[in-house]
């Protein structure tokens, strides 16, 4: 296998809050390989966006190491970071909120070029903007308009053009399609896939929707309350989920074949996600897990490779794989 483009090691991002420490991301580790799409899923509030932002150092990490092309990004000086900034970009969930309504599309797309002084003159700047517009399926006529004149899908295309302006290598796509109409979602996903092929881009693709992540991702990580619970190739994760949380998330997705759907056991995810403020030791999923035993309350399970390239943080992973794990509730 190639060397990873991104290696995240024990990354933490804690926020001080009135009553203690909110551990949004609490020690996650994984690799992302060049040209791949790594999907990151989990319920609302589990730390996906914070993880994405911390990885590209939009947030200063509380702890951990992030290697990009072998360099420890968290140790770079401000000046060295300027260079790496060009390689890291982000596409946001809400194309309404993430584009400045008072700027024209040209100004929006050219902003990263302006910041990094990435052109010789105004003509070159304009030409690059037009080139970027065409890459995302828009054209020159769109350059002088304002965001409110566009549909949601078109605005997201503007966001993508802006993200591509400096020829990045790694893009965090934070739920880039969840605010869009279902009819438009596939178009934007296909655009992202085409651009990935064309430019050899590497994506961290954050989503709630497990079915969409399966379609777009090579490998998928499942987060719960700041911890990584399971990680495997998309196929392996969807065919052989091991972690009780992943099993519950997957059982909530309807299967198109009614015969399979009828025979499928639905695992209910009961209760809400607990607060990430001052979390208790032990497994973060314990209050909602149907396999929980005493040990789960005392010892945090390690994130281990339980099968080839399949990682799980669960004390009962081996029993679950063997099919001998009995539910405790
Ligand atoms: N700047 C911040 N200051 C304090 N707490 C924060 C901050 N950003 C996020 N959090 C908290 O960190 C936790 C994780 O939030 P995050 O936005 O990363 O989750 P998420 O998985 O992206 O959720 P969603 O699916 O709703 O986007 C939440 O409890 C959130 O309230
Ligand atoms: S460690 Fe225990 S509580 Fe956590 S997922 Fe595994 S069985 Fe459930
Ligand atoms: Mg989020």
Q: How does DSSP assign 129-152, residue by residue?
A: HHHHHHHTT--GGGGGS-GGGS-H
- Domain for residue 1, yes or no? no
Nearest to 175 by CA among 44, 288, 28, 62: 44
312 assigned to some structural domain: yes
327 assigned to some structural domain: no
For residue 166, being part of any structural domain is answered with yes
Instruction: Tell me what the mean pLDDT of segment 111-125 comes to.
Output: 95
Nearest atom within ligand 1 for CA of residue 43? 25
Pocket perturbation via mutation, ligand 1, pick of 45, 46, 173, 204 by most ligand atoms within 8 A of CB: 45
- Domain membership of residue 329 (yes or no) is no
Tally the domains of the chain.
1
Query: Can you tell me the mean pLDDT for 93-102?
Result: 84
What sign does the dihedral 305-307-312-314 (CA atoms) show? negative
The verdict on residue 193 lying in a domain is yes
Laid out side by side, the sheet with 20-32 consists of 20-32, 6-17, 63-68, 71-72
The average confidence (pLDDT) of the chain is 93
pLDDT score of 271 more than 80: no
pLDDT at 98: 83
**Over the stretch 293-322, which tens digit does the pLDDT of each residue have?**
999 999 999 999 999 999 999 999 999 999
Q: What Å distances lie between residue 100 and 105, 107, 205, 292, 307, CA to CA?
A: 9, 10, 23, 48, 47
Torsion of CA 229, 234, 237, 239, to 10 degrees: 170
pLDDT tens sequence across 136-165? 999 999 999 999 999 999 999 999 999 999
User: Which 3 state secondary structure label does DSSP give 239?
Assistant: helix
pLDDT of residue 268: 63
pLDDT digits 0-9 by tens, 236-265: 999 999 999 999 999 876 656 666 555 555
Give the pocket of ligand 2 (CB within 6 Å).
Answer: 243-244, 283, 285-286, 289, 291-292, 296, 301, 314-316
Identify whether 96 is part of a domain.
Answer: yes
Q: Is residue 197 part of a domain?
A: yes
Who surrounds ion ligand 3 at CB < 5 A? 49
Domain that holds residue 199: 6-322
Q: Which CATH number goes with the domain that contains 79?
A: 3.40.50.300
């Amino acid at each position: 296998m190639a060397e990873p483009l991104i290696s995240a090691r024990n990354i933490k991002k804690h926020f001080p809050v009135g009553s203690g420490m909110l551990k949004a991301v609490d020690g996650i580790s994984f690799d992302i390989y060049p040209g791949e799409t790594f999907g990151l899923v989990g319920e609302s509030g589990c730390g996906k966006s914070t993880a994405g932002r911390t990885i590209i150092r939009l947030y200063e990490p509380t702890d951990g190491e992030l290697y990009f092309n072998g360099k420890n990004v968290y140790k770079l000086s401000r000046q060295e970071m300027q260079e790496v900034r060009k390689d890291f970009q982000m596409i946001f969930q809400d194309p309404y909120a993430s584009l400045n309504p008072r700027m024209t599309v040209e100004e929006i797309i050219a902003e990263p070029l302006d910041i990094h002084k990435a052109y010789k003159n105004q003509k070159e700047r304009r030409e690059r903007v037009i080139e970027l517009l065409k890459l995302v399926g828009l054209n020159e006529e769109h350059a002088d308009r304002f965001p409110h004149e566009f549909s949601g899908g078109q605005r997201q295309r503007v966001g993508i053009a802006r993200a591509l302006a400096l020829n990045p290598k790694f893009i965090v796509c934070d739920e880039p399609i969840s605010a869009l109409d279902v009819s438009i979602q596939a178009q934007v996903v296909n655009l992202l896939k085409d651009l990935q092929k064309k430019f050899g881009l590497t994506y961290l693709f954050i989503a709630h929707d497990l079915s969409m992540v399966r379609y777009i991702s090579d490998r998928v990580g499942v987060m719960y309350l700041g911890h990584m619970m399971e990680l495997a190739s998309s196929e392996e994760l969807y065919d052989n989920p091991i972690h009780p949380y992943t099993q519950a998330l997957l059982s909530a997705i309807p299967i198109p074949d009614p015969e399979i759907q009828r025979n499928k056991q639905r695992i209910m995810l009961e209760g809400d996600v607990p607060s990430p403020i001052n979390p208790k030791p032990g497994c973060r999923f314990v209050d909602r897990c149907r396999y929980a035993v005493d040990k789960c309350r005392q010892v945090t399970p390690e994130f281990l490779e339980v099968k080839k390239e399949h990682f799980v943080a669960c004390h009962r992973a081996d029993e679950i794989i063997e099919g001998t794990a009995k539910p405790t509730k």
